[in-house]
A and B are shown apart, each in its own frame.
Chain A
Amino acid sequence: MGETDSLNEKENGAPPHLSELQANTLYPSASDLPPEPPRAVLSNYDRFFVIDFMKGGHDQYIYRHNNGLCVIGLAPSHIAVDNDASVIAVDFNVGKRSRTEMKASGKRKSDACVLEPTSALCKVVCNNAEYIIRCCVRGALLEVNERLVKDPTLLNTKAASEGYIAIMMPRPADWNKASASFLTAAEYLKRKPPRQ
């Protein structure tokens, strides 16, 4: 292929001591690679959980990136997804303004709305019930996952990644206050072992 040729040309064009170094280091071999890869979601975030947030069965996760941002979503044991029924709809039209209209912009996100831990993020509708998902931590709302409106079943299939609910930016003090009551991933697994 043409692309490969141009790639090789570039390497050959480099001074000899450089191309030699590159040839040895560019490709790892099978023995260098781990049986299981590090997962981006696991290695980039500290994972925390809350159980029964304001109501029984309302279990949520808070994934905190090391830059301080928090991804909020449904824990596997949340009553909306811990069954065989599918989620029918996700509605961000809760509170005074629809959460999808709460856009943050600019580097500082100075126009972002600050929500309380108990503020609603969205309503998850199942066959026979509706559940309110909440912020869990006080902070600026940076975005909600609008894909859930079109594809609510992401909550059933990929709640821990593409089915996240929202991204929040808490201040350090607010984070410290809220996280004191959060469970670590290990504590959560002990309390809510995965269903067989």
Chain B
Amino acid sequence: MESTMYGAIQALPSEPVSDLLSIGVCPFCILRFFGIRDVVYSYPFLPSTLVECTTINLSKEPCNKKEQESFGHSNEQALDGRTCNNVSVNFDMSNPCIACLGIFQLEPGIDRQLDRICHERRERMAVTSKEKIIESVKKEGYQFDTFTVEISIPGIVMVRERAVWQHLQEKHGSQSRLQGKHLSEHVVSSKEALKGALIKSLEESLQAVHDSGSTFKIALRYKHPETVCELGFPGCSLKRKRGVMNEVNGDFTEPVESLVAIQRCLASISAKDFASIYPYPPPKCAVACNLDVSCYRTATLIGGRYLKFSRNISQSPWMIEEERKGDGSVQEIIADVVFPHFKADSYKFHASGREDIDVRMLGGGRPFMMEIVNARVLVSPDDIQKIEDSVNSLKEGWVKVRNLQLVGADARSSMLEGETEKQKQYTAVIWLSRCISNDEINDFMALKDLQIQQKTPVRVLHRRSPLVRPRMIHWLKLDRIEGTEHYYLLHLCSQAGTYIKEFVHGDLGRTYPNVGSLLKCEAEILQLDVTDIAMDLFNE
């Protein structure tokens, strides 16, 4: 790797490089402006090597350009080369880099040359970004074996990058390395270079593998007091219209500069217009970017099916004027066991539809999902099995879970589909005002795919739209309850979203036809159970 780096650095045209060094562009950014990619940025001796090579090249240039190629193949040679020359390269390291505002200079490496050069500023730096990252990761106690890094760069850095580029093009545009190049294609973005500089050493320090799809995110936010909005780019607003939800703590943050908008403006503005907005090369700035490090894990999703054996448990916590309705909720009973395992910030509970508080959920259970926000702990399928067992061994036994498992984000849409699309089976205990003959029962059970019109039930009309909803009853089955004349068990299968209680008692005739109208009598419902939700989701 070292020799590749030497080759790359050495091949740089020394004149523009020394110019950039003298106006205060850091060695990292110089490499970026010449489109050099890959792991070069992680090399600790990079800054001094660049200075060395440039010095040598400059001194050699008038004599013999071809000799450059043989130079710098080893460190000793490079140092030798420098000592026998009187040419010196000016560089200004007293201020942060005029392009990146010190983003790359937060990485001191172990370069003694640079140490000497910017000893003073180094003294002022409490911790380097790498140390800061490791400290932040350790503090929260995350478990992870992969990670990914998210970087946000202040908009002003993009503006300054453009200003340096414009300077380069104007002064050195004839150089073959720069001729006809475009900033967006040629210059390596600060994000990419920063990743190149950090990731390898982070992998070693954190004992984990970088994977852009990892659920564990290390967010690096570089901030700088100089803002872009005040510069007055013509014809565009650079602020986001709305504030943004902070994923980690749920706070609503103020609208900020939109980096995408800045990028768009910079891409479309002409060199002349840009010059009237911002000077190039960019002015020196005494204040460096500072770095905020935060870590979070994207939602951990746990799916399964729940059963509910109590007629006094709602699905979600139900409070009326601070007084609890019922004995508890499915959500809380499950979450009280599941949630503590993850040492997470919060959770959300989703289910494929819901049943009333006084309706049991039997059969195969109802698909549900817990979305666990910012889990510190990684759990294994074995752990999930143990969690399921401990929910199922709660002594009240009101709620059980089946097939608990870690699931992907696609399960979310399947669940929502179940809310509106899938067939549901029910068993109801009903009362009929007259005794029904066997023939009538058979006629009733012969009804298939019966379409009913259901007005929004009075019971929910205060909070739902008044509508007439056509719903399908796929089949019906009626069993006598032995020893009674008026009581029956009604089994039925219906389209999702059918209000079953209203289909039985008719809701003042607002659901029509209803059980009473079909059997030409009055009908009342005493008990209802959901016996099956016909979905493949979490069935095994």
Contact = CB atoms under 8 A, between A and B. Distances in A.
Contacts, number: 117
Contacts of A104: 466
A25 B459 CA distance: 27
A38 B524 contact: yes
Interface in A1-34: 1, 3-4, 6-7, 10-11, 13-15, 17-18, 21-22, 25-31, 33
Interface in A51-81: 65, 67-69, 71
Contacts of B524: 37-40
A18 B307 contact: yes
B482 A22 contact: no
Interface in B391-437: 392, 397, 400, 402, 425, 427, 429, 431
A142 interface: yes
B466 A109 contact: yes
Contact of B505 (A33, A40, A109, A143): A40
Nearest to A31: B483
A162 B477 contact: no
A69 B461 contact: yes
Interface string A141-169: 01101010000001000100110100101
A37 B431 contact: yes
B397 to A, nearest CB: 7
A65 B458 contact: yes
Given A21-B397, A38-B524, A107 B364 contact: no
A27 to B, nearest CB: 6
Nearest to A158: B509
Interface stretch (B102-110, B250-258, B484-492): B484-492
Contacts of B484: 30, 33
Given A18-B307, A65-B459, A68-B462, A30 B483 contact: yes
Contacts of A11: 362-363
A98 interface: no
Interface stretch (B41-49, B219-227, B346-354, B526-534): B526-534
B475 A161 contact: no
A105 interface: yes
A161 B466 contact: no
A3 B462 contact: no
B121 to A, nearest CB: 60
Contacts of A194: none
B58 interface: no
Contacts of B400: 17-18
A164 B507 CA distance: 11
Contacts of A68: 462
Contacts of B116: none
B459 A67 contact: yes
A95 interface: no
Nearest to B529: A26
Interface in B467-483: 475, 477, 481-483
Given A10-B363, A10-B532, A33-B526, A71 B458 contact: yes
A46 to B, nearest CB: 13
A27 B479 CA distance: 11
B477 A4 contact: yes
B508 A106 contact: no
A181 interface: no
Contacts of B425: 7
Nearest to B397: A21
B365 to A, nearest CB: 8
B149 interface: no
A44 interface: yes
A145 B508 CA distance: 10
Nearest to A104: B466
A3 B475 contact: yes
A147 B509 CA distance: 9
Contacts of B429: 28, 33
A64 to B, nearest CB: 11
B493 interface: yes
A14 B531 CA distance: 12
B96 interface: no
Contacts of A40: 501, 505, 507, 524-525
A161 B509 contact: yes
B489 A27 contact: yes
B508 A164 contact: yes
B508 A14 contact: no
Contacts of A33: 429, 481, 484, 487, 526
Contacts of A65: 458-459
B396 to A, nearest CB: 12
A14 B402 CA distance: 8
Which has the most chain B C-beta neighbours within 10 Å: A10, A25, A107, A167? A10
A162 B522 CA distance: 11
Interface of A: 1, 3-4, 6-7, 10-11, 13-15, 17-18, 21-22, 25-31, 33, 37-41, 44, 65, 67-69, 71, 103-107, 109, 142-143, 145, 147, 154, 158, 161-162, 164, 167, 169
Interface of B: 307, 309, 360, 362-365, 392, 397, 400, 402, 425, 427, 429, 431, 455, 458-466, 475, 477, 481-484, 486-487, 489, 491, 493, 501, 505-509, 524-527, 529, 531-532
Given A29-B483, A71-B458, A145-B508, 17 more contacts: A7-B491, A10-B532, A11-B363, A13-B364, A17-B392, A26-B529, A28-B429, A28-B481, A37-B486, A37-B524, A105-B466, A142-B461, A142-B466, A145-B509, A161-B506, A161-B508, A161-B509
24 contacts: A3-B477, A3-B491, A6-B532, A7-B531, A10-B363, A13-B364, A14-B365, A18-B307, A21-B397, A27-B489, A28-B527, A37-B431, A37-B526, A38-B524, A38-B526, A39-B524, A40-B507, A105-B466, A109-B466, A143-B466, A158-B509, A161-B506, A162-B508, A169-B462
